[in-house]
Amino acid sequence: MPKILNIVETAYRATIEEQDDTVLWLTHMLKNAGADISVLLRANAVNYAVKGQDASGLAFGETKMTHPPEIGKGVEKMIQKGVPVYLVEQDVDERGLSDADFVSGIKKVKREALPELIDQHDQVWHW
Amino acid sequence: MASEKTLTIAIMDAPYESANSTSALRIINAALEKGHNVNVFAYEGAVNLTMRAQQPHPNPVKGTSVEQEQHPTTKDWVASLFKLASTKDVKLDWVNCGLCVDERGAGDWIEGPRRGGPKDFLDASMASDATLVIPTK
């Protein structure tokens, strides 16, 4: 099975939809379907790996979102499922985040090391 | 003549909202013209590209009628891509993400596309010579 690297750059895209984040959800589905897949979070999307995010409480009129997105938990579940999740280290630092902010199991990678990471994969999908 | 090469392309943008859709259609058109097979995975808002109920309208700013405008909607373009694939004797396999369709009430589409899911995208990618994703930014 060829190795796929999903690079996610756009953060909190379509999270009002049931799938939460569209590409992380897709990654879960592809992993379930047998894909050998990894995820690289870059730019604002590094925030996806922050633990303790709470998006609850959204309501318009009488209509409430009772199952809000749980992006951090989704990332953690993905890691537990065997999907390597990488974060660009400089993007983390530029946003004032530290290791203690993240769910367990993430891997930080420096920008300079991205070509090597990309080279380890057969297909690279930049979302 | 068919090249036996296959391109898989994933698209996400809703019709008309950005040049991403136009770029995707250009790439699909060019690949078919060159005799390549094309798999399309229409994800998220891109499932609206093929909705049967799309209708053109007059342009009051230009003062033109709908007949004068003859402006194609995206479903017309996709229909033409299927016709082009048939003419070139190559395959255009257009999959609309079923869950995305359901959330958008976009289940009534033109002849050609089929309902599917992420596994269809994975299978198509693994069997293709190249995969391109064009996401919404």
Inform me whether the C-beta atom of residue A49 falls under 8 Å from chain B C-beta atoms: no
Instruction: Give pLDDT tens digits for B65-115.
Output: 999 998 999 999 999 999 999 999 999 999 999 999 999 999 999 999 999
Cβ–Cβ of B44/A127 closer than 8 Å? no
Inform me whether the C-beta atom of residue A12 falls under 8 Å from chain B C-beta atoms: no
Could you tell me the domains of chain A?
3-126 (3.40.1260.10)
A48, A75 Cβ separation under 8 angstroms: yes
Q: Token digits for A68?
A: 């809000």
Cβ–Cβ of B119/A14 closer than 8 Å? no
Instruction: Give pLDDT tens digits for A58-71.
Output: 888 998 989 899 99
A23 → chain B, closest CA residue: B135
Q: Token digits for B62?
A: 């230009």
CB pairs under 8 A between A and B: 43
Q: Which residues pair with A34 in a beta bridge?
A: none
Specify the pTM. Answer: 0.90
* CATH code for the domain of B55: 3.40.1260.10
Is residue B1 in a domain? no
Q: How many domains does chain B contain in total? A: 1
d(CA A92, CA A45): 10
Give the domain extent around B128: 6-134
| Selected residues 48-77 of chain B with any CB under 8 Å from a CB in chain A | none
Q: ipTM strictly over 0.90?
A: no
pLDDT at B14 over 70: yes
